[in-house]
Each structure stands twice: as C-alpha cells, then as structure tokens.
Amino acid sequence: MILNVTDIMKILPHRYPMLLVDRIIELEPMKYAVGIKNATFNELFFQGHFPGQPVMPGVLLAEAMAQVGGVALLYPEENRGLVPFFTGIDKLRFRHPVRPGDTVVMRADIEKIKGRMGKVKAQSHVGDTLCAEGEYMFALMPSQDAKQK
C-alpha cells in the first residue's frame, strides 16, 4: 500500500514544519510501515544546524522514524483521531548523518501492543547505510479535539 503526503495528513495529526514523512511505500496496518523522507537543502533546519556542514538534527530523524510507526498504528479506522504520545525511547543510536539531498528510508515495526500502550522498533537508512535506530514506547491518547466534543 502506498500513501502520499495528502494521505498521511489524513492519518497523522502532524503538519508543517513537523510532518517529517513524505511518502509511505509499504504498509501493513498494526504490523509495520516503510516511509520516505526526502532531505532537501530548502529545509530550514539545514540552514542553522552546523552551517557549512549541514546535517539533519538527530531529534528530527528520531521523530520522522516515530511518525512512520504512527502511520502503521493510526491507519485502522478505529484508531483515527488518536494521538501517539512518547512514553519512552530506548536504545536510540545515530550511526550516520543525513545530509541535504539524501533520501531516507525508514522502517517501523510494531513490536508489542497492550491496550493503548505499545512499543515500536525503527530504523532509518540512506542507501545501504544505517543512519539511526531505536525503540519507541507510546500511549495512544484521544486528541484534544475529541475531548472537547
């Protein structure tokens, strides 16, 4: 299943500048997702993060990987409108920098779900090079909009 950015915005609550997934190229809901982030020099973070040697901030790469997992979690209709909040991040390691012009391929596998809590394991690659990996714990919570209705 392939999702473009318009499809992703129907699933994730994130918007510019925090929507960090351009496309989903593989998806098995509640199991895994594979997403793409095209890192272009036009992104504002490249202008100020190590000028002269621009790299994507690790925290944004970690967020992008988590968002790919969020698509797998929120794709089922019964989960739409829920917001996946971090409850923890373990074993997050940055192995190689992401630079302008790179196409980052991220895979997020849902390892465990119990009720509204769970764990996702994610990796990002540029070509064959591992850029980052980590484990994310989350809680699926109702959005503020749903609480106010």
Catalytic residues: 49
C-alpha 148/C-alpha 86 separation (Å) is: 22
Distance of CA 64 to the CA centre of its chain: 3
Distance of CA 111 to the CA centre of its chain: 15
List phi, psi (to 5°) of 10: -80, -15
- Token output for 139: 């809680």
Task: Return the bridge partners of 33, or none.
Answer: 27, 108
**73 membership: H or E segment, kind and range:** helix 58-74
Q: Is the peptide bond before 76 cis (omega within 30 degrees of 0)?
A: no
